[in-house]
Structure 1
Amino acid sequence: MFTTFAAAMGNRWTVRFSATWVERPIMYVALVGYPSCGKTPPHRLALSPLLNLDHEYDREYCAKLKAYKQWGAKSPKERAALSLPEEMERPRRRCHVVVDATIEALIGAMRDNPQGVILYSDELESLFANFNRYNSSDESYFLSAFSGTPFKYIRKSTDEHIFLPNPYCSIIGSTQPGRLAKQFGGERVVNGFSSRFLKVYPDITDMPTWGSDRMPDGIMEQWERIIRKVVTFDFKGKEQPIELTFSLE
C-alpha cells in the first residue's frame, strides 16, 4: 500500500534533504516469501485503485484512437466538409501501472505519462531475466532511474528520440528466499543495485488456506478514495512539483 501511494504521488511531490539533494518518492520493493504463501493477492489488492483508473483510461483511449483512425481514413476534402481539424495528433495511452514491460515499452509509458508509473512484476525473476537480453544497459538504466536521473533514449526501429527530464518509475514485485542470492548478490551488491530494493520478508509460517472471511465493508472503497484523491490532477510534466522540507525536529 505504501508503494502504491508513492506511485500515486509520482512526480508531483519532492522532498528536500539539503541544498543539492532533492528526492521523489521512487521505491523499489521486493516482497519475499516461499511459493504459494500468498504474495500475489495483497499486491493486486493494494494496486487495485491504480488498475481501476487504468481501465477507465483504456476506455477513453480506445474511443480517441477510433476517432483518430476515422480521421486518418478521410481525405483533406472530406475532413473540410465534415469540419474536422486539418491536423490531429495520435492519442497517447494514459496509465499508472506497467506490467512486465521491456525497457523500450517502459520508457514509452513514462513519456506518455509524465506523472510517472509503477512497474509491477508478479515474479521479479521474469523482470531480471530480461536484463541485457535486448540491450546491455538495462540494469544500469534501473540503477540510475532510482534517482530519477534525466534519460535519453533512441528507438532505432522508428528513429524516435525520447528525452525524459524527470523519469519516475517505482517497482514492486515478489520473489522467493532461494532466489535472493542470484537476484541481489554478487555484482549487484557491489554496484548498489541490491541496496536500491527494499526487501519485505514477513515471517509466514503457515500457508494460507480457504476461508469464508471477507474484507470489512468500506475498507477497499476508502482505499480507492484515498488513491484517487492523490492522483486526481491532470499532470502535464511542466508543473513545478510540491516540495516538502524537514524541520529540525
Structure 2
Amino acid sequence: MDTIYQNICGIRKNKNRDGEKHIWEEIEDASKDGTTIPLEAFPVKIQEMAKVLVEYENYNQDYLLVSMLSAVATAIGNTCQIKIKGCWTSSPILYIILVGRPGVGKTPPLDFAFKPIRAHDYKLLKKYKEDDEAYSLFMEKRKNRKFSYSQSEIPEIPILQRTVISDFTPEALMQAHNVNQRGIVAFVDEIMGMFNTVNQYSKGQLIEQLLTAHSGKPLDITRCSLDIPVHIEQPCINIIGTTQTKRVHELVDKGYSDNGLIDRILFSYPKRHTISPWQLHVIEDGYDGRVCFDQWEMVVNAILSLPCHYDEETGVVVPRVINFTTEAQEHFFEWRNQTVEYINNIKDDALIDGRIMKTHLNTARLALVIQMMRWACGEAGNGYVDIKSVKAAIQLSDYFEECYARLQKYMAIDSIKPEKKILLDGLEQKFTTADALKVGEEMGLSERSVMYTLTDLLTMKVVRKIKRGEYEKLQ
C-alpha cells in the first residue's frame, strides 16, 4: 500500500527538471552523517507524515518530530507509567526546549504538533461554558421559592480543565494541574520569558516545584491566596518551548546548571541551521495540508482517549503501570550499565557529569512515548514496551545529548568570567597543563589559580580531559 509521501511526492524525480535537490533529499543526505534526529526511531506513519510536512510546509524535521514527542507525552499524561525497575515507575514527563537562530522556523511545527490537544481543550472549554450556563440558570431558579427540585437535580459546580497552559503565573500553573491531574503542559513559545518572570511571582519556588515534579514526587503548595492548600500526589507536567541560540547561556546565568534543572532538559538543536528556501510545487502534486493534520489528529486523539483512573476513596490518579518486555529490559539495563561503568572509572569527582546519570530516566520515558505512538499508528501494542521502542529511545537520547554537547559553547562561553575566558582564548584547540601554566604566567596568574580555572572549565564542559595532563576545547 502506498504511503502518504509516495502518494503525494512519488513523481518528484520526474518533475525535478532542474536537477536541484529538494528539501527532503538534502535532509536525508544530512541524516546519513548523523547530523539530524533519527527518523527511523519513529513509526512509519510518522516518518511519512514528516516527509510531506518538510517538503510542503517547510518545517524543520528536528523541531517537528521533537514537538510530536512532546505532544504525545502530554496526551499520555498520567494514564500510564513505565516501570523502570522494582517499584520505580515514571510518567512521561519531558522538559524540552527547541533552540535555533531567529527565523529558522521553531514555532510552526510546534503549533502543528499541539493543534489536536488545543482542539481537545477547546471542546472542554465549550462544555464548561454550557455547564456554567446551566448551573447559573439553576441557581437563578433556586432563588424562586416556588421552584421545586430534588437533591439529585442539583448540578455540580462546573470546573474548567485545561491541558495546554501558556500564559500563567506559577500559582496558576499548579492550580491548573490540581484541577487536571491527568497532566498538563507548560507551552511557552519564548521560554526565557517564563524563566525571567519566575522570581517575580514565587521567589524561585516554581523552579523547585519543577525539579520535584520532574522526579515524580508529590507537590504541596500553600499560599495565603489559596483557601485550601494544593496537594498533587502524582505530578505530570510537561514543558515545551523555544529560544534563540544566543540566549541559552541565560539558563546558566540564572543558576539552573547548579540546581540541576539544565540536566533535566532535552534540547533540540539541529546541525542544519540554514532556513530552507521555499519550493515551487505544481498543482498536480495533489497536496492537501489537511490530510497530514487529520492523520496526526487521529494519532493524538487515540492517545487522548486512553482512560485515566482514579482511586475511589482519595480521588488520586492511579496510572496503569506498563512493563518492559524481558528482551527490552535486558537491552535497557545493559545500555544503562555501560554508563555506570563509565562513571565508576572516573576517579576525579569534579569530572563526573551529573547530566549523564539522568539520561536513563528520560530514555525510559521516551521508550514509553514511542511505544504509545507506535500503538496509536497501528504498529504495536500498548500493554508493554518492547525492544524496538527501547532502541528508538536510546537513539533519541543520543540525539538529545549530541544537541546538548553542541550547545555547551553557547551555555558556557558566554557565562565564563573575563579572566577565565582570556586564559582559554590563549590556548590552542588541544593543550597541556604546561601550556595552561605558561599562558597563566603571562597573565600574572599563580599556578594554583590556573589549576582552579582548569577544574572550573572542565566542570562547565568548556574543555575535556583527553588523558592526564592533556586537554581539548569543546568549541
Normalised to the residue count of structure 2, the TM-score between the two structures is: 0.49
| Residues in 2 aligned to 1:91 and 1:209: alpha-carbon distance in whole angstroms | 49
| Residues in 1 aligned to 2:207 and 2:178: alpha-carbon distance in whole angstroms | 20
Unaligned 5+ segments in structure 2 are: 1-67, 282-286, 312-316, 332-475
* Structure 1 partner of 2:297: 224
- Paired residue for 1:244, among 298, 322, 332? 322
Q: Which has the larger radius of gyration?
A: 2
* Structure 2 partner of 1:145: 213
1:132 counterpart = 2:199? yes
Distance verdict in 2 for CA 1:86–1:223, change over 3 Å: closer
What is the CA-CA distance between 1:161 and the residue it aligns to?
A: 1.6
Q: Which structure ranks higher in relative contact order (CA pairs < 8 Å, sequence separation ≥ 6)?
A: 1
Moved more, 205-214 or 171-180: 205-214
After superposition, residues 8-87 of structure 1 pair within 5 angstroms as: 8-75=75-142, 77-78=144-145, 80-81=147-148, 87=154
**Residue 256 of structure 2 aligns to a residue in which SS?**
helix
8 Å Cα contact 1:71/1:79 also seen in 2? no
What is the CA-CA distance between 1:154 and the residue it aligns to?
A: 2.3
Unaligned 5+ segments in structure 1 are: none
Larger helix proportion, structure 1 or 2?
A: 2
| Residues in 1 aligned to 2:145 and 2:215: alpha-carbon distance in whole angstroms | 50
| Residues in 2 aligned to 1:186 and 1:129: alpha-carbon distance in whole angstroms | 9
Moved more, 145-154 or 26-35: 145-154
RMSD: 2.3
8 Å Cα contact 2:309/2:319 also seen in 1? no
8 Å Cα contact 2:187/2:240 also seen in 1? yes
**Residue 132 of structure 1 aligns to a residue in which SS?**
helix
| Structure 1 runs, 4 residues or longer, greater than 6 Å off | none
* Structure 1 partner of 2:225: 157
1:189 counterpart = 2:262? no
| Residues in 2 aligned to 1:79 and 1:12: alpha-carbon distance in whole angstroms | 46
Normalised to the residue count of structure 1, the TM-score between the two structures is: 0.90
Alpha-carbon displacement from aligned partner over 1:144-168 (angstroms, at most 9, x marks no partner): 1111211111242242221111111
8 Å Cα contact 1:151/1:167 also seen in 2? yes
User: Between Structure 1 and Structure 2, how many residues are aligned?
Assistant: 249
8 Å Cα contact 2:96/2:241 also seen in 1? yes
Larger strand proportion, structure 1 or 2?
A: 1
| Residues in 2 aligned to 1:34 and 1:14: alpha-carbon distance in whole angstroms | 35
**Residue 188 of structure 1 aligns to a residue in which SS?**
coil
Moved more, 106-115 or 153-162: 153-162
What is the CA-CA distance between 1:44 and the residue it aligns to?
A: 0.2
Moved more, 101-110 or 82-91: 82-91
